[in-house]
Structure 1
């Protein structure tokens, strides 16, 4: 079975195309299921749309859900359209996000850490002038947040768990193996899946999130895996899916998963 659980569209302000475009691209790619998972609004902000080029407006959430559900019905029998969403994880606002998202019938929610210490993980200038000890501290805090998100019970999938390397490839060389191992153990115990996200190719790091080294350790700890292109244009739907499948088999994985009505569906690789 072929699926892609991570796609965006125009509502987030930094992706091209509408939802139908991504569904049609999924059909062309031979997918049996496609997940629509645009960015949540910033619910804790007083503004209607705090960051128009990052996430949808609060009032768009209902329209987003209604549109996906309508397209799910329209495309039934051709491709399984799954209602997902990608949510930031902010510990201070976790209950607000949990309550708000709980009002809608999501098939799954991707939990992604995009900020640490109130700075974007993709902001490469944040590393300028930091000592090695401080870099280790930042990396440990990043993985601490990912661990917290796994324990929160809010998410079925954790997004791009080493994406901090995206615009700072040297992130991978910062020694914090214990933090990664502890996080993977927490993820396994929580029964949450991690995605192999092929959008790293659009950043300075290139490659996938997470790295092969992390995937090998994830397999050791029994972490479940899924696939997401993180497409921000329809042409990237299912991008490198077969290459990911092949690599997972080489690493030793036997299966991957997707979610319907928040229930894990296990599929042999």
Structure 2
């Protein structure tokens, strides 16, 4: 069973195409399962749409869910359309997000850390003027937040767990092995999957999230893996999936997983 669990569309304000476009792209790519997982609204503000170029408006959430469920029925027998969503992890708003999202029948929720101490992880300027110790502290805080997100029980999947390297390739050279190992240990204990996310190839780092080294350590800690292209264009659905399968086999993985109605489905790597 071929799947891609991480796709976006026009509602988030920084992706192109409709949900139908991504489903059709999944069929053309030979997928049996396509997960639609656009960004949640930002619930931490009273504004209807606090970040129009980052996340959908609050009033769009119900329409998003209804559209995915409608297309799920329409495409039954052609491709399995799953209702997912990508949720930011903000510790101060975690319960609000939990309560709000629990009202909808999501097959899975991807939890992603997109900011550390109020600054986007993709902001190139956040590293300017920092010394080695300060950079290590920022990286350690990033992995602390990811560990914390795993412990909440809110998420089936953790998104792009080394995406802080996206626009700062030197991130991978900042030495914090203890923090990464502790993060992977926690993820393994909590039974949350991590995604192999190929969108890193569209960033300055030019590689997948996470690195091969992190994947090898994830295998050691018994962490489950899944696949997500993080497509913001229909043409990127299932991007590099076969190459990911080959790499995972080389590292030692034998299977990966996806989620339907919050239940884990194990699929051999093929």
The TM-score with structure 1 as length reference comes to 1.00
| Cα distance in 1 for residues equivalent to 2:179 and 2:170 | 17
2:41 counterpart SS class? coil
Residue 81 (1) aligns with residue 81 (2): yes
- The 1-side partners of 2:248 and 2:42 are apart by 34
Query: What's the RMSD between the two structures over aligned residues?
Result: 0.4
Deviations 1:246-266 (A, max 9, x none): 100000001000000000000
Partner residue, 1:197? 197
* 1:45-194 map, 5 Å: 45-194=45-194
Give aligned pairs, total: 269
1:54: Cα distance to partner? 0.4
Q: What aligned pairs does 1:233-252 form with structure 2 within 5 A after superposition?
A: 233-252=233-252
1:169-225 per-position Cα deviation (integer Å, ceiling 9, x unaligned) = 000000000000000000000000000000001110011000001001001111000
Tell me the distance in 2 between the aligned counterparts of 1:44 and 1:209: 27
Partner of 2:23: 23
1:215 paired to 2:235: no
1:71 deviates by: 0.2
Structure 1 counterpart SS, 2:155: coil
Find the residue that maps to 1:194 and give its secondary structure: strand
- 3-state secondary structure, aligned to 1:87: strand
Q: Secondary structure at the match of 1:186?
A: helix
3-state SS of paired residue (1:175):
coil
SS of the residue corresponding to residue 183 of structure 2 reads helix
Unaligned runs of 5+ in 1: none
Q: Distance in 1 between matches of 2:10 and 2:236?
A: 15
Tell me the alpha carbon deviations over residues 16-63 of structure 1, each in whole angstroms, 9 at most, x when there is no partner: 000000000000000000000000000111110001100000000000
Gaps in structure 2 of 5+ consecutive residues: none
Write the distance in 1 (CA, Å) between the matches of 2:230 and 2:44: 24
SS at match of 1:51: coil
Q: TM-score, normalised by structure 2?
A: 0.99
Aligned to 2:231: 231
**Aligned-partner Cα distance in 1 for 2:223–2:80:** 25
How far, CA to CA, are the matches of 2:240 and 2:39 in structure 1?
Answer: 22
Work out the CA distance in 2 between the residues paired with 1:10 and 1:50: 16
Q: Secondary structure at the match of 1:48?
A: coil
- Give the C-alpha shift of residue 65 in structure 1: 0.1
Please state whether the residue corresponding to 1:85 is helix, strand or coil. Answer: strand
Which aligned runs of 4 or more in structure 1 are off by greater than 4 angstroms? none
